Structure 1
Amino acid sequence: MDLAVIWFIAISVLWIGYFVLEGFDFGVGTLMPFMGRRDSVDRRVAINSIGPVWDANEVWLITAGGATFAAFPAWYASLFSGFYLPLFVILIALILRGVAFEYRGKRDDPVWRLWWDRAIFFGSAAPALLWGIVFANVVRGVAMDADHIVTASLVDLFNPYALLGGLTTLSLFTLHGAVFLSLKTDGPVRVRARAAALRTACVAVPAAAAFLLWTQLAHGQAWTWPLVALAALALVGGVAAARARREGLAFGLMVATILAAVVTLFGSLFPDVLPSTTDPAFSLTVENASSADYTLTIMTWVAVVFLPLVLLYQGWSYWVFRKRVTGATVTGESVAQRSGA
């Protein structure tokens, strides 16, 4: 297996890590306004459930972007120029979200907190929607000329398949966040999160089923059929476990759902990295979009050294902050804490 293929797989793994970990972050942020009244302790409980880990989860996005730039510069250039506006909105949303977490508790003012709560909601829901639209278009392909310049308009990006992809990621991440909240919190937030999980499942299950089936029939390969089945079974099982109040099992099955779904997308894409709907000969592939072997070799050694360190650190942080968050623990914390409580 050549290094270009290895790095395509590595980038797929980085996106899996990002969507699994940041996915429940987005879900918690999207659900936060519904976890309690304005300026209530319950909203602080929801925020504190992801307070120690949300910024570390975003490292996966930075790493995925950096790896794409170094390993597949042509892919990076076409992707970030052709999808400039959606990616710019995602960037602004993530910035607002990060600032909101930091500044929400800086003033004891209900209006101040209300506006930061809105920023958290927007900064969570917008990327959850737009990432689905972006990745659906990557798998489907976009209008691109022989120089690998994306000629598709913004309207072209909001096609029915992409919109279904956006609805799928938004609803799936919201469900993932609801399951995480029911696992991580206790008291009223846990009760509301359980109810939110069951309500969100009414959208997430049919949307994910339709999107994955459309992906498989239109773009999939023979070996990705088992992944589609695995994603469907894990999602249904996760909802059933959430209904039975088995939060740990439900969260594990949601992780399996997202993992299988992302592998299905990248598997359907391979060996292309950005198909051209103008002419298949204009498509960017793993081979024609990759860097030189020397660059990929250096990147491989860097990844071998530093990736285990990142995994150990992140695993340690989740272990340290593994306890449930309650109203009592939140009210005993400093308002200056990084979680924004």
Structure 2
Amino acid sequence: MVLDLIPLLIALVGLVLYTVLGGADFGAGLWQLLAGSGERGRALRDHAHRANAPVWEANHVWLILVLTVVWTTYPSFFGSVCSTLAIPLFLAAIGIVFRGLTYALHYATDVPRERRVIDVTFSISSILTPFMLGTVVGAIASDRVPVGNAAGNAITSWTNPTSLMSGVLAVCTGAFLSAVYLAADARRFSESGISEAFRTRAVASALITGVLALATLAVAHQDAPRLYDGLTSGLGLAAVVVSGVAGLASLGLVWLRRYTTARLAAAVAVAGLLAGWAAAQRPDLLPGLTVQEAAADNATLIAVIVSIAVGAVILFPSLAFLFRLVLTGRLDPGRLTPASHPVGPDARRPAWAGRAAVACFVLGTALFVFADGDAAHTVAVIAFAVTAVFAYAAIGPDQLAARESEPE
């Protein structure tokens, strides 16, 4: 039935947009980690932050869309995936939270040691999240998520060869997209040296991503034969061919410094990969669970479709306006300067607060992931709340002191 497929197509479009836009944002974290030291490394890191800071939150709109649509319209599929793959999904969420934290703190200090901690945390979380989300895709694609509440193995479902290769491929794909986008942004800022640096990274990451894509296909031949068969025949093969051609085109365009067109070609290449996976997966969402069997009742499907249509009237113009402001340089965060307020003796941050925040976070994570029962999960939620309190005590006083020291 066509009605059953419409929410799935919406979710797939949202996933493509999240990969193309959010994936590039994650890729910037990898390049910040590999930027090197000295003034040149700092310039590359600052450029990556400046280019992505205005839009990183907006990029997560597409992840929210995918999650909302899937859990509402395909609840049995959503429940099966989230229960079996709770660990990688939880780790991906942790990465998103820490990335948001580091974005907020980027201009909050000019102390070198603190800046290094912020930069490293940002980079690690930027690698962690796409890798974990990639393992989730690999687990679903390789038929390791059975229908039912936590019916699959909580560890091997996402640590198998196909899942791990999918995770690495997700990280490298984001790095490629990011390098292309950052090279274009650097040219817009008239920073030829930085543009050339990211051009080199774009070419290298394109070649690595292409090799990894072929290697993942070879692994799937042995580890996930149904996925391999779907990708090498019919619509799946057509999508893979389109992805390969677009990838080669983007590589050539980057080499010729045609960055605007290269962006579009790179996006098509990534969309082709995801479309190929979707084509190879059909007609089942999970082993023995078709789209029609997983779909909610017609009233729910219609309500979701209408809600998305109404929301799109507001969302798409708003996002288009945001990206227009960014691409024309009117939201350039490079005009901001790090905080340099004097810190009084009363604003010294207690060392124990940071350690207590880490301890509570570890406790909450352990209870949430490994313990069963409502009592354990309640304690985990309390531990996370206490983590926020201690974290504020560890990093907040400087900002309060800075405000108090400002003349009225």
Q: Is contact 1:44-1:330 (8 Å) kept?
A: no
1:295-340 deviation line (CA, Å, top 9, x unaligned): 1111111111112321111111111110469xxx76532447xxxx
Aligned to 2:163: 162
Q: Is contact 2:86-2:154 (8 Å) kept?
A: no
Aligned to 1:26: 26
Q: Which of these residues, 217, 228, 238, is aligned with residue 217 of structure 1?
A: 228
Aligned to 1:181: 182
Aligned to 1:125: 127
Give the share of equivalent positions with the same residue, in percent: 22
Aligned length: 325
Aligned to 1:205: 210
Letter in 1 for 2:173: L
Q: Which has the higher mean CA deviation after the structures are superposed, 159-168 or 90-99?
A: 159-168
In 2, Cα distance between equivalents of 1:210 and 1:79: 25
Q: Which of these residues, 321, 332, 335, is aligned with residue 332 of structure 1?
A: 335
1:233-262 deviation line (CA, Å, top 9, x unaligned): 111111121122111122111100011111
Aligned to 2:4: 4
Q: Is contact 2:173-2:209 (8 Å) kept?
A: yes
RMSD of the TM alignment (CA)?
Answer: 2.1
Q: Which has the higher mean CA deviation after the structures are superposed, 95-104 or 286-295?
A: 286-295
Pick closer, same or farther for the CA change 1:50–1:143 going to 2, 3 Å: closer
Q: Which of these residues, 258, 264, 280, is aligned with residue 268 of structure 1?
A: 280
Pick closer, same or farther for the CA change 1:103–1:143 going to 2, 3 Å: closer
Name stretches of at least 5 consecutive residues in structure 2 with no aligned partner: 222-226, 340-408
TM-score by length of 2: 0.75
Aligned to 1:280: none
Aligned to 2:382: none
Residue 151 of structure 1 deviates from its aligned partner by 2.3
Q: Is contact 1:36-1:189 (8 Å) kept?
A: no
Aligned to 1:237: 249
Is 2:320 the partner of 1:315?
yes
Residue 211 of structure 1 deviates from its aligned partner by 3.0
Aligned to 1:74: 76
In 2, Cα distance between equivalents of 1:28 and 1:38: 18
Is 2:302 the partner of 1:297?
yes
Aligned to 2:200: 195
1:145-170 deviation line (CA, Å, top 9, x unaligned): 6x464222413421112222112111
Over 6 Å off, 4+ runs? none
Residue 27 of structure 1 deviates from its aligned partner by 1.0
Is 2:300 the partner of 1:288?
no
- 1:26-175 equivalent positions in 2, closer than 5 A: 26-35=26-35, 37=37, 40-142=42-144, 144=146, 147=148, 149-175=150-176
Pick closer, same or farther for the CA change 1:330–1:302 going to 2, 3 Å: closer
Pick closer, same or farther for the CA change 1:289–1:41 going to 2, 3 Å: same
- 1:236-255 equivalent positions in 2, closer than 5 A: 236-255=248-267
Name stretches of at least 5 consecutive residues in structure 1 with no aligned partner: 276-282, 337-341
Aligned to 1:339: none
In 2, Cα distance between equivalents of 1:191 and 1:237: 19
Q: Which has the higher mean CA deviation after the structures are superposed, 156-165 or 118-127?
A: 156-165
